[in-house]
């Protein structure tokens, strides 16, 4: 688990929800707190690049670990058609990527 507290300004916090096959984009504002469940692919960025952001992040464990993005994207229930559209390629290329990463097609 990761907890993010936004202390100053606004920050975008997109995350991928593989079970619902969608990407959720949150516009966090000053004082907001967001908890990322373990394994949720996410990132944060400052959409107002000329304005500084102060964010405090904390993990629920001393050994929080990491999430393999290729596994989180290509070894899920996300359909090959959606992956192909997302990466602007075709389904055959998605199959090659999955095989190259050692995932069963």
Count other Cβ atoms within 10 Å, centred on residue 78. Answer: 19
Distance of CA 21 to the CA centre of its chain: 12
Residue whose tokens read 């507290």:
5
Report the alpha-carbon distance of residue 31 to residue 83 in Å, rounded: 35
95 is in an annotated binding site: no
Report the alpha-carbon distance of residue 26 to residue 16 in Å, rounded: 11
Residues tagged in the binding site annotation for Mn(2+): 42
Residues tagged in the binding site annotation: 42
């Amino acid at each position: 688990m990761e907890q993010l507290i936004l202390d100053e300004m606004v920050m975008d916090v997109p995350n991928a929800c593989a079970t619902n096959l969608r990407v959720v984009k949150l516009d966090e504002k000053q004082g907001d707190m967001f908890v990322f469940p373990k394994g949720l692919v996410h990132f944060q960025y400052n959409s107002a690049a000329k304005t500084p952001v102060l964010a405090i992040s904390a993990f629920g464990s001393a050994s929080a670990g990491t999430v393999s993005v290729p596994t989180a994207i290509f070894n899920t229930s996300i359909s090959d058609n959606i992956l192909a559209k997302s990466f602007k390629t075709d389904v055959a290329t998605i199959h090659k990527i999955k095989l190259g990463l050692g995932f069963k097609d």
